[in-house]
Chain A
Amino acid sequence: MRQKESQRHRIRSLHIPMHAVLVAISVVMVFPFVWMLLTSLKTVTESTRMNPFSFFPQASQWVNYATVWQQNDFLQLYLNTFAMVILRVVCALLFSAMAAYAFARLHFPGKGFFFGLVLVQMMVPTQVFVIPQYLMIDGMGLRNTVFALVFPGLVSAFGTFLLRQFFMGLPRELEESARLDGCNIGQTFVRVMLPLTHSGLTALAVFTALFAFKDLIWPLVVNTNTDAATLSSALSKIGSSYSVNYPNLMAASVLAVVPMLLLYMVFQRQFIEGIATSGGKL
C-alpha cells in the first residue's frame, strides 16, 4: 500500500518537468503561425529591420490583406478550393459507400478481382497517375476548370477500403431483419446500414477534405491559369512574385491557412477521431 502511494507520488512529481517539455513543444508548434500573423501586419521596412528588432507590429497594416486580396483575387481562389473539396468529399462518400457495402456484404462473381483493383490503386504512388490524368483532361479540353481539380478524386480506393472495414464490423442480424421486412438490397443499404457507419463516413469526409485541400502537384499541373488555381497552387506563384515583400507573403499565407484552421477549431473532435479511426481501420 505504502509502495503504491510512493509510486503515485513519484509519478506526480514527474508531471512538472513533463509539462515544461510539453509546453515548450506547444510553443514550437504554434509559434510559426503567430509569427506569420505578426509579420503580415508589419510594413516591409519594419519586417526587415534588425536594429532595433521589432517583434510586434507598431501599427497593424491591415492594408496588406487588402492588397494581397485584390492582386490575387482570393474570392475566386476560395470558390475554386471549396468547390473542389466539397465535390471530392461528395464523390468519395457516395461511390465508396456503395462499393464498400457490396464488397463487405454481398456475394458476386469477380469480387476478389475487383477488390484487387482497389488494393493496387492504394499501393501505387499517386504521381504515377499524374501524366495520363493530365493528358485525359487536356484531351477533353477541360484544363483550368473545377472539374479538372476534382477529376483524380472522382472515386476513392482508400474510401472503399476504409468503409468496407466499417461495414464488416456491423452485425448481420440487422440486415436479415430488414430483408424479412421486405426491404430490397438498396433499401437495406440506405436505410439500415448507411446510418450505422456514421463515424466511418465522418472519418472519410475529414480525411478527403484535408488531403484535397493540401494537394499541390495536381492543381499546379492541370490549372495553370491564375483564376482557376486553388489556395495551395496560387501560393506557389505568390511566393515568387512577392519574393522580398514578406508582410504580403504572410498575409497571403494567413488567408490560405485560415479556412481549414477555423474548421479544425470547430470540429476538433471529428478531425482527430476521423484521422485516428481512418488509420486504425486500415
Chain B
Amino acid sequence: MRLNLGAASAARERVSAATRNEWYWAWGMIAPTIIGLVVLNIVPIFQTMYMSFFKSGAFGKGNTYIGLENYRRLLADAQVLYATRNTLVYMVCVVLITTVLALLLAVALGGRIKGKGTYRTIYFIPMVATPAAVTLIWRWLYNYRFGLLNHMLSSLGITPVDWIDNPNAAMLSIAMVGIWSTVGYSMVLLIAGLQEIPRDYYEAAQIDGAKPVRQFLHITLPLVSPTLFFVLVTSVIAAMQVFDIVYMMIGVTSPSYDATVSLVYLFYNNSFKYSNKGYGSAIIMILLAMILLITAVQQRLQKKWVNYM
C-alpha cells in the first residue's frame, strides 16, 4: 500500500503543474454534464431494468420481487404483440414514404428552380407545430360525420371512410399524420447533404450526355448516401418511439386501439394509467432491445452501401 502511494506520488511529480491544471479545468468543465447524465440517465437505465423484475402497486409502494414473471406475462400478452407489430408497421410505412418523398423534394429544390426557399420554408412548417395540436387538427379533418375529408369524398360520390374508428383505416390515418409532420425535416437534412456534392460532377456528366435520371442514380444517390443513411437512422429511431399522434388520436376505448397502440403508448398506460411501473418497465425494455438491435444492423449495413467521399 505504502509502495503504491509512493509510486503514485512519484507519478504525480512527473506530471507537470500545467498538465495537472489542465486536468482540473477539464474535470470541472465536464462535471455538471457528467453528474447530470449519471443521475438522470445512466442510473435510471439500470433502475428501469431492475424494476422490470418487480410488480409495483399504486404510488410505487408495495413492490414485490417476481423475477421473470413480467417477461413471462409479456410473451403471453396479446396487446404487447399488437403494440410491437403496430410500432414496426408504423415505422416501416413512415420511414419509407417520408424518406423517398423527402429525397425527391430535396432533389427538386436543390436545383435552380425558382422559389425554392419559399417551398422549403412551407414544407418545414408542420415540424414547428406541436404534435398535440397537429393531431387535433387531423382528428377534425378525419371526423367521420363532419370532417372535411369525408365531405370531399362524398361530394365525389365516394363512400365516406371512418378514418379513426375503423381498425383497418386507423393505422393509415396515423401514418399519414406522421409523414406529413416529418417530411420537411428529412428534406432539410437532405438538401444540406446535396449541397456538399461538387457542381463539377454534374457538369462533367452533362458533357457526357447523361440524362437527369442517370445523373440521379450515379452521382446524387451515391454521394448523398451518408446523409441519407443519417436520415434513415434518426427517422427509424424516432418512429419506433411514436406516442403523441396515437395517444391524441386513439382513446383506450376506441375500436381501433388494438390496431394502433404503440409500444410507448402501452408503456405509458401500464406505468401511469394502471400504475404498474414494473410491467411498464418490462415493456420499455422491449423497445430498448429493438432499437439497439436496429442500430447494430444499421451500422453493419452502413459499411456496405454508404460511400464516404
Contacts and interface: CB of A to CB of B under 8 A. Distances in A.
B partners with A: yes
A108 B30 CA distance: 11
B55 to A, nearest CB: 14
A63 interface: no
A151 to B, nearest CB: 7
Interface string A166-193: 0000000000000000001110010000
Interface string B241-268: 1011001100100000000000010011
Nearest to A135: B60
The majority secondary structure among interface residues of chain A is helix
A59 interface: no
Interface in B259-288: 264, 267-268, 271-272, 277, 280-281, 284-285, 287-288
B137 A124 contact: no
B232 interface: no
Given A128-B45, A264-B128, A95 B32 contact: yes
A19 B118 CA distance: 12
Interface in A47-100: 47-48, 50, 53, 95-96, 98-99
Contacts of B119: 22, 25-26
B23 interface: yes
Given A154-B40, A232-B131, A246-B146, A39 B140 contact: yes
Contact of B42 (A33, A121, A186): A121
A4 interface: yes
Interface in A7-26: 7, 11, 15, 18-19, 21-22, 25-26
Interface string B109-152: 10001110001111111111111111011111101011010010
A99 B29 contact: yes
Nearest to A222: B272
A172 B189 CA distance: 29
Given A123-B292, A155-B36, A276 B132 contact: no
A202 to B, nearest CB: 15
B250 to A, nearest CB: 12
Contact of A277 (B47, B192, B206, B285): B192
B133 A108 contact: no
Nearest to A157: B37
Nearest to B285: A128
A216 B247 contact: yes
Contact of B132 (A47, A101, A232, A264): A232
Contacts of B71: none
B185 interface: yes
A210 interface: yes
A98 B271 contact: no
B25 A232 contact: no
Contacts of B64: none
Contact of A261 (B128, B185, B247): B128
Q: How large is the interface on A (under 10, 10 to 19, 20 to 34, 35 or more residues)?
A: 35 or more
* Most chain A CB neighbours (cut-off 10 Å) among B44, B264, B271, B295: B44
B288 A125 contact: yes
A128 B284 contact: yes
A271 to B, nearest CB: 7
Contact of B189 (A48, A126, A276): A276
Contacts of B295: 123
B130 A29 contact: no
Interface in A257-282: 257, 260-261, 263-264, 268, 271-272, 275-277, 279-280, 282
B136 A155 contact: no
A271 B36 contact: no
B34 interface: yes
A74 to B, nearest CB: 13
B126 A29 contact: yes
Contact of A216 (B109, B121, B131): B131
Interface string B230-242: 1100100100110
A131 B271 contact: yes
Given A30-B125, A128-B48, A131-B48, A186 B137 contact: no
A101 B137 contact: no
Contacts of A33: 125, 129, 137
Which 10 A-B residue pairs are closest in the complex by CB-CB distance? Answer: A155-B36, A132-B44, A108-B26, A99-B33, A276-B192, A106-B26, A235-B132, A253-B133, A102-B29, A279-B189
7 contacts: A99-B33, A125-B284, A232-B130, A256-B132, A275-B124, A276-B192, A279-B231
Given A32-B134, A32-B141, A240-B251, 7 more contacts: A30-B125, A33-B129, A123-B292, A128-B45, A132-B44, A155-B33, A276-B188
